[in-house]
């Protein structure tokens, strides 16, 4: 049976070297001559300078420019309240906090949003949600899908390596998230959007086939994360991109003495969950090995006790969200894997 659902996807997508210098041109083509710019605090001067130079050359006016160092809900709402009436588009430039705030402001203001990530740490730059902090806890709130996504691959290639590896870890989650979604169908009758699942898994497979972080690999990673975000918009939920591995990461955020980058936690959890699912573990482990992901984690290992507690808590974090963790008590399996698996045993300490 056919059904019609309105889906918003980016109509402008530029993933190439030098894209930052052309941002003003892209905005001008859409007649967005007055924009509000939300950029990460501490952004490298050459990145910020390239954007402002592109604005000047295309006669784009930044009617408001905000350095973002926090992603509190109250801060985002205040930015919406103070938004100049002349603003015709919102631009988010930099890392996750700036993009999440910009995206939410655009959602409240009902203005076109342009995402300009300067690193590829997760798929949030193209997702229909903003991760904001409320009462000290991270919440995912409905937000604006970007009308445009501009990724300067040269800039992203120069980002701190742990941020790029975080993006690799977030991409690994697509395999386990989709398997969890299908488990939810078989065990709980949850409907699976096959097209959204195909989008997310195909995008991840493209990077899995060539898991290198050279110039071509950065392009593939950016494209895969972009398509993952679109898959969430297609089905109206986070299911294509987020499953039990994300629940474990969220539990770590709440309980760990020192939570790590989202994608680093998610990548390790995705591999661990793949063992529980008996789902492409060898391929996922190899992808993480070839990119240097495992070396990054082993250099600063996780706590075994914290992870076991996170796995215990994870199934209760999201009501009516069936995953492999719902099928059985997995603690004994997880503990054995953390201590004996060829990859995981390097990444955990007592």
CATH number of the domain within which 326 lies: 1.20.1090.10
178 closest CA partner among 198, 163, 164: 198
Same domain, 76 and 135: yes
Q: Residue 138's pLDDT is what?
A: 79
Residue 36 three-state SS:
strand
User: Is residue 143 scored above 80 in pLDDT?
Assistant: yes
Task: CATH number of the domain at 97, please.
Answer: 3.40.50.1970
Domain end marker among 116, 138, 155: 155
The answer to whether 145 touches 156, Cβ cutoff 8 Å, is: no
Across the range 111-123, mean pLDDT stands at 96
Q: Say whether both 198 and 275 belong to one domain.
A: yes
Any domain includes 2: no
Same domain, 140 and 178: no
- pLDDT band for position 63 (cuts 50, 70, 90): very high
Name, in order, each residue with C-beta under 8 angstroms of 125's C-beta and a sequence gap of 6 or more: 92, 96, 99, 115, 117, 146, 149, 225, 226, 229
Q: What is the pTM of this model?
A: 0.93
Asked if residue 171 belongs to a domain, the reply is yes
Neighbours of 288 (CB within 10 A): 24
CB 93 within 8 A of CB 33: no
**For strand 148-152 and strand 12-16, is the pairing parallel, antiparallel, or unpaired?**
parallel
Contacts 24+ apart (CB under 8 A), 45-54: 47/20, 47/93, 47/94, 47/118, 47/155, 48/93, 50/20, 50/21, 51/20, 51/23, 51/24, 51/93, 51/116, 53/21, 54/20, 54/21, 54/22, 54/23, 54/24, 54/25
Whether residues 21 and 37 share a domain: the answer is: yes
Same domain? For 221 and 341 the reply is yes
Q: Answer yes or no: do 215 and 239 share one domain.
A: yes
Q: Do residues 34 and 61 share a domain?
A: yes
36 has a pLDDT exceeding 90: yes
Residue 3 in this model has a pLDDT that exceeds 50: no
261 pLDDT exceeds 80? yes
Domain final residue, candidates 101, 136, 155: 155
209 in the same domain as 273: yes
Which are the contacts of 268, defined by CB distance < 8 A and separation ≥ 6?
169, 297, 302, 344, 347
Number of domains the chain contains: 2
How far out from the chain centre does Cα 195 lie?
20
Structural domain of 127? 12-155
> Taking all residues of the chain, what is their mean pLDDT, rounded to a whole number?
95
Q: Do 146 and 260 fall into the same domain?
A: no
Q: Determine the average pLDDT of the residues in 100-113.
A: 97
Same domain, residue pair 107 and 176: no
Q: Is 217 a domain residue? A: yes
Instruction: Please check whether residue 59 lies inside any domain of the structure.
Output: yes
Residues 65 and 170 in one domain: no
Beta carbons within 8 Å of 350's beta carbon, 6+ residues apart: 303, 304, 305
Among 97, 124, 155, give the residue marking a domain's end: 155
| pLDDT for position 5 | 60
Helix, strand and coil content of the chain, in percent to the nearest 5, comes to 55, 15, 30
User: Quick check: 144 pLDDT over 90?
Assistant: no
Same domain? For 321 and 185 the reply is: yes
Residue 2 has pLDDT above 70, yes or no: no
Q: What tokens does 81 get?
A: 């309240």
């Amino acid at each position: 049976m056919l059904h019609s659902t309105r889906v918003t996807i980016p109509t402008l997508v530029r993933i190439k070297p030098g894209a930052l210098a052309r941002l003003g041109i892209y905005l001008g083509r859409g007649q967005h001559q007055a924009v509000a710019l939300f950029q990460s605090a501490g952004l490298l001067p050459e990145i910020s300078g390239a954007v402002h130079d592109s604005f000047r050359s295309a006669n784009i006016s930044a009617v408001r420019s905000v350095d973002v160092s926090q992603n509190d809900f109250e801060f985002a709402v205040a930015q919406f309240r103070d938004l100049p009436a002349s603003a015709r588009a919102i631009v988010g430039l930099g890392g996750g906090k700036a993009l999440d705030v910009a995206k939410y402001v655009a959602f409240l203001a009902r203005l076109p949003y342009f995402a300009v990530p300067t690193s590829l740490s997760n798929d949030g730059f193209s997702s229909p949600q903003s991760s904001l902090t409320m009462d000290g806890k991270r919440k995912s709130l409905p937000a604006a899908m970007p009308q445009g996504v501009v990724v300067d691959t040269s800039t992203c290639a120069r980002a701190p390596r742990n941020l790029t590896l975080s993006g690799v870890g977030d991409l690994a989650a697509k395999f386990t998230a989709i398997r969890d979604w299908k488990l939810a169908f078989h065990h709980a009758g949850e409907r699976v959007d096959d097209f959204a699942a195909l989008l997310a898994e195909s995008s991840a497979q493209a990077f899995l086939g060539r898991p290198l972080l050279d110039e071509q690999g950065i392009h593939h990673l950016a494209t895969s994360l972009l398509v993952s975000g679109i898959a969430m918009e297609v089905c109206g939920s986070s299911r294509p991109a987020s499953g039990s591995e994300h629940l474990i990461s969220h539990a770590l955020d709440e309980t760990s003495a020192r939570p790590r980058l989202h994608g680093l936690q998610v990548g390790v959890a995705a591999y661990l969950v793949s063992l529980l699912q008996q789902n492409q573990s060898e391929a996922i482990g190899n992808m993480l090995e070839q990119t240097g992901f495992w070396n990054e984690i082993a250099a600063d290992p996780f706590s075994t006790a914290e992870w076991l507690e996170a796995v215990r808590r994870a199934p209760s974090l999201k009501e009516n969200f069936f995953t492999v963790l719902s099928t059985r008590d997995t603690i004994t399996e997880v503990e054995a894997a953390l201590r004996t698996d060829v990859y995981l045993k390097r990444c955990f300490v007592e």
